[in-house]
Amino acid sequence: MTDHTNRRVAVIGLGAMGGAMAATLHRTGWDVTGFDPFDGARAAAAEAGIATTANLEDVAGTPYVVLSLPAASIVETTVPQLLAAPGTVAIVDTTTSEPATSKHMASLADAQGAAFVDAPVSGGRDGAATGSLSAFVGATDAALTAAEPVLLALTGGKYSHIGGPGSGNVVKLLNNVLAAANLVSVGEALGVAKAYGIDPAKAAASISEASGGSKVSANMYPNWVLSGTHDSGFSLGLMARDAALAVDVAAQIGENPALLAAVAGQWQDALAVLGPRADFTEIARTVAPAITPAGAPGRSTPAS
What are the structural domains of the chain?
A: 4-164 (3.40.50.720), 169-291 (1.10.1040.10)
Task: Tell me the longest C-alpha to C-alpha distance in the chain.
Answer: 65
CA 83 to CA 108: how far, in whole Å? 9
Angle at 176 between CA 174 and CA 177, to 5 degrees: 65
What pLDDT does residue 299 have? 63
Side-chain half-sphere exposure of 71, counting CA atoms within 13 A:
8
Question: Residue 298: what pLDDT?
Answer: 84
What would the pLDDT profile of 250-273 be if each residue is shown by its tens digit?
Answer: 999 999 999 999 999 999 999 999
Distance CA 17, CA 192 (A): 35
Under-50 pLDDT residues of the chain: 1-2, 4, 300-304
| pLDDT of amino acid 124 | 86
Q: Do 204 and 218 meet the contact criterion of CB atoms below 8 Å apart?
A: yes
Side-chain half-sphere CA neighbours of 118 within 13 A = 30
pLDDT per position as a tens digit, 159-215: 999 999 999 999 999 999 999 999 999 999 999 999 999 999 999 999 999 999 999
